[in-house]
Each structure stands twice: as structure tokens, then as C-alpha cells.
Chain A
Amino acid sequence: MDLNLILVWAVKSGLLFFVIITACAYYTLAERVVSAFIQDRRGPNRAGPLGLFQPLADGIKFLTKEEVFPSQVNKITYLIAPAISVSCAIMAWAIIPFGGRIQLPEILASLVGFSDVDLQVANPDTGILFLLAISSLSVYGVILAGWSSNNKYSLMGSIRATAQMISYELPLGLSLTAIVLMAGSLKLTDINNAQKDLWFVFTLPGFMAFLIFSVAMFAETNRLPFDLAEAESELVVGFHTEYGAFKFALFFIAEYMNMITMSTVVTLLFFGGYNVPFGLGNDFHALGIAFFLLKVVFFAFSFMWVRWTLPRFRYDMLMNIGWKKLIPWALGNIVLAATYVVYWK
């Protein structure tokens, strides 16, 4: 275990952290601008050219607001909850590959002693399971926030949100099983390389898995049409009612980062990831990364698009869809995927 490897990991993690925090900040601006255009008005455009300094302004606002502690809250869990949400949102980025293996330019290669670098912080054997595990952990942020706030609306919002998140983890995982069957491995790089000839969304089991996964993805991130737990007109603001200033900013960042993570996972699993047609990606890695980012941006946009298009589901309808409709479809899809693998390949 030499120091060079650790140095490379540290640089990759630091760079990734910086990039995703910036991406998340500008995603919040994009959300407001896109919502505005859908609603036939302009978004924020005062805080700099085209409103591009708006996230910076929001950040300064959150940091300088007064921190209020409601009186009867349980201090430890009240403070841990947003930290858990944000840590889990950021941890999920440790295994996302942005491209294949690149060659470092000679200046850096001579510094570290080797020249092959994966554009991925870690590549464990259980790639996609790690993402499922981290999304299971993010439930704790919601539960502890709602419970420790000592507020009826928060508790009800958090119980509903938690039940929704744990119910939709099942179709999420089951739809991924079909993809894993077709790709033959859990590692994200292997799943990506298995789509060199044909994206998984163009195969029948892959398409069904994509439909199930996208519904479950909206429910996992608590976004419309499944955001009953934090809807303004229903439950004040749900589980983060009692959170102000920086703690609310952490929940906010966690939610938007989860959305970007899910968009990335959809691209990698269903839409070909960083593959470039005709095998050009082996020589021009930048092309692969550019295609990947374009697809991710499209899915991130679709989150906002769906938000202002579909009405909200009632809570019992939500649970009904999750348990009685998506899970049987996902299970049937696994059988379909297994048949596809045995007979069509």
C-alpha cells in the first residue's frame, strides 16, 4: 500500500466532491429556471449574469441565518439527521464511473509512478448493491428528523416519507436484478461495457425494468408525483418543518444530490453510460464523458419536467402502486430477463 495510490484516491475524492457540490448548487438554480419557464415566467435573473450567482447567494443566506433550536427537541438526533442525509447522498458518488481507464499526461504520470487511472473512486465487487445500501441508509435522516422535532406534522410527514422510501426500495432493487442478470455482473463498469452493442433500454426486460425503475426513482427521492410527505399544502413542510438555516440547506442539498445520483444510475444502467457508438470511445475518452454528462443532464431535466406535469398521488394510492403493482411486475420482469439471457444470447 504505497502513498501514491492513497494520493490518487484523495485527489479523485476531493475533485469529485467539489464537482458534485457545484453541480448540486447549479441544479437548484436550474430547477427554479426550468419551473419558471414551464409556468410561463422568468426564473431568478438578478444575482449576476443570467442569475448564475444565485446558488452562491443562497449559500451565503443559509450560512448567515440564525440557528434556531426549538425547545423540546432531542439535541443529538436533531443534529445528526441532516448530517446523515447529506453524508449518504455524497457517499453514493464513490462508485459512479465517469469513463473508462484513461492515461495520465506524462507530467502527472511521473509524479505518481503509474499512468492508468480509472475515472471512478472505487470499483468494488458489489457495485450496484452499494448504491442500494446507501439509499437504505438515507432513510435514517428522514426518520430521525421527523421524530426529534417534537412536532406532530413533522412526525407524520416523516413516517409517511419513511414508509414510502422503504416500500419503493423493493421495486428499485428488483428492477436492478433484471439488469444485473443481463449484464452478468454487479460492477458498474461491467454493466456499462455490456451495453456496447445495444443499450439495455432497447431490450424488452430492460425496458420494463426502466419503467419500474423510473417510477421507483421518483418515489425514492420524494419528488412529485410522490411527494406527499413534504407537500406544502398538506403537512406544512413535512419532516423538515423545524429545520432552518444551514440544517435545512443540508436537507435541500441531500435531496437534489439524490436526484442527480438517480439520473446517473439510470444512464449507466439503461442508456449506455459512457459508451460511444462505433467504438470511438476507446480513443477519445472525452467524447464518452461528454455523452454521459449529456444523458445525465437530460434525466435531471426530466425530474423537473415531471414535477410540473403530473398531479400528486394520494398516500394510499402511492402505497398501492408500490406494493401491489410494481413488485409483481418487477418479479415477472426478472423471469423475463432470465429467459432472455438463456435463449436470446
Chain B
Amino acid sequence: MELELSNPQPLLFLIFAGVCLGSSLSVILQKNPVISAVSLVLSFFALAGIYAVMNAIFIATMQVLVYTGAIMVLVIFVIMLLSLREETNLEIWRNPVKQVGIVFLVVLYGFLLMAAVNYNPEIGNGAPVESYSFMIQEGQNKGIEVTGNTASVGASTFLDYLLPFELVSILLTAAVIGAVVIAKREKLNNPNT
């Protein structure tokens, strides 16, 4: 083990990773969908903790705000409103095609795991202090330089990645309108009223 457990960060990473893995397994193995959803919330929260350990504090906060605070609330609402019942036994164990498929997938992900564990890029110099600089292209010495994680992500979003940002906003509008239209209750056209 190359981790130095005297620092708090590797220790925190191990705790959060353990919680994350445990609750991910609980998501797929629990019969009651509400417990699955609550385990997924726990898993996302642990993942946000891992992002914070890595010093990606803006993304950690976004993970809690967007994933646990909005998406999972929506999922739990849907589960509650539809009164979903628990699943019965997993009947796929009896289908031989699916059994072979699962074995194949386990082997495939085993290979992926080995690749991840043995990944050894060349070691360069340390990552720079969290900062971001943007030079305006006209060749004059004008530029923007910001330090700090949130400022860097914000500056990069609005300077380098402005087009994807605008496209994502259009996509979100389309998604909101689409969701409202799809889930709307059809009005019963009663000619007598």
C-alpha cells in the first residue's frame, strides 16, 4: 500500500471510497426501490467527498447540489408517486444466454480493472497551483489570469467553452419543455361541458 495513512486525505479517500462502493452495490441489490434510491444518494455524497479530497471543491459542491439535491429528489418523488412495489426474484438467472452474457461482462470488466490498476504514465512535474490563464488572440499582452478552483472553472467555462455552455442551456430548456409535455395528463375532451 503506497498510501500514507498519517495524512487525513488518503484516510478520508479510503473511507469515502468504501462507503461509495458499499452503497453502489446496495443500489443494485436491494429489492425496495426507495432503499435503492437512498443508497444512491449516499453513494453520490461519498463521491462528492472524494472530489473534495482531490481539491475539486467546485465540482464537489455541484455534485451535492445537482445530483443529490435535484436529480435524486426527482427520482424519489417518482418512486413515491407511482407507489412502486418491490421486485420479486431475479428471473434472469435461469436464462442461459444471459448467464453467458454476465460471465463475459465480468471478464471484460476484469480486464478493464487490470488496466486501471496497472496504469503507469510517466511521472512529470507536479500539477500547478489551481489557476487558469487566457490570452486574447490579437497578440497584445492582454489576458485574464485567475487563481482558485471556482474561478478557474468559471473562467474556463465562459472563455474556452462558451459554445458548449450555450448549447447546454438550450438543451436544458428543451428537456424541461419535453418533460412537462410528456408527463402531462391528457385532458378528457368532454363535449357536454
A-side residues, CB < 8 A to B, are 1, 6, 74, 76-77, 80, 124-126, 129-130, 132-134, 136-137, 139-140, 143-144, 147, 155, 159, 162, 166, 169, 186
CA distance A130 to B151 in the complex (A): 15
Contact between A136 and B70, CB atoms less than 8 A apart:
yes
Instruction: Check A133/B70 contact, CB under 8 A, given A74-B34, A77-B34.
Output: no
Q: Chain A contacts of B47 at CB under 8 A?
A: none
State the CA gap A163–B87 with chains docked (Å): 28
> In the complex the two chains form, is B150's CB within 8 Å of A159's CB?
no
Question: Could you jot down 23 A-B contacts, CB within 8 Å?
Answer: A1-B6, A1-B9, A6-B8, A74-B34, A125-B57, A125-B148, A125-B149, A126-B149, A133-B61, A133-B64, A133-B65, A136-B64, A136-B70, A137-B64, A137-B69, A139-B69, A140-B73, A143-B80, A147-B76, A159-B77, A159-B81, A162-B77, A166-B73
Task: Closest B residue to A143 by CB, please name it.
Answer: B76
Q: A6-B8, A139-B73, A162-B77 are in contact. Are A144 and B38 (CB under 8 A)?
A: yes
Which residues of chain A come closer than 8 Å to B64, judged between CB atoms? Answer: 133-134, 136-137
Docked pose: A339 CA to B58 CA in angstroms: 26
Contact indicator B69/A1 (Cβ below 8 Å): no
Query: Is B168 engaged at the interface, CB distance under 8 Å to the other chain?
Result: no
* Shortest Cβ gap from A4 to chain B (Å): 13
A129 and B52 alpha carbons, distance in the complex (Å): 14
Contact A136 B65 (CB under 8 A): yes
Supposing A125-B150, A186-B150 touch, asked if A159 and B70 sit within 8 A by C-beta, the answer is no
With beta carbons under 8 angstroms apart, the residue of A136, A147, A166 that contacts B80 is: A147
Contacts of A134 in B (CB 8 A): 64
Q: Which residues of B contact A147 (CB under 8 A)?
A: 34, 76, 80
| Contacts from B to A (Cβ < 8 Å) | 6-9, 32, 34-35, 38, 41, 57-58, 61-62, 64-65, 68-70, 73, 76-77, 80-81, 148-151
Q: Give Cα A143 to B80, complex, Å.
A: 9
A-B interface contact total, Cβ < 8 Å: 70
Chain A hits for B41, CB < 8 A: 140
Interchain CB contact under 8 A, B150 and A137:
no
Tell whether, in the assembled complex, residue B38 and residue A130 are in contact, meaning their CB atoms are under 8 Å apart: no
Besides A133-B61, A137-B64, 19 other A-B contacts (C-beta < 8 A): A74-B32, A76-B38, A77-B34, A80-B38, A125-B149, A126-B57, A126-B150, A130-B61, A132-B65, A134-B64, A136-B65, A136-B70, A143-B80, A147-B80, A159-B81, A162-B77, A166-B70, A166-B73, A186-B150
**In the bound complex, what is the Cα–Cα distance between A74 and B149 (angstroms)?**
42
Distance, CA A147 to CA B32, complexed state (A)? 13
B65 and A1 contacting across the interface, CB-CB below 8 Å: no
Known: A126-B57, A143-B77. A1 touches B34 (CB 8 A): no
| CB nearest neighbor in A for B65 | A133
Which residues of A lie under 8 Å from residue B76 when comparing CB positions? Answer: 140, 143-144, 147
Question: B8: which A residues are within 8 A, CB to CB?
Answer: 1, 6
Greatest chain A CB density within 10 A among B57, B58, B65, B76 is at: B65
> What B residues does A6 contact at CB under 8 A?
8
* Interchain residue pairs A-B with the least CB separation, the first 10: A136-B69, A133-B64, A125-B150, A133-B65, A126-B61, A129-B61, A125-B149, A1-B7, A124-B57, A147-B80
Question: Which residues from chain B contact A129 at a C-beta distance below 8 Å?
Answer: 58, 61-62, 65
Nearest CB of B to A38, in Å: 35
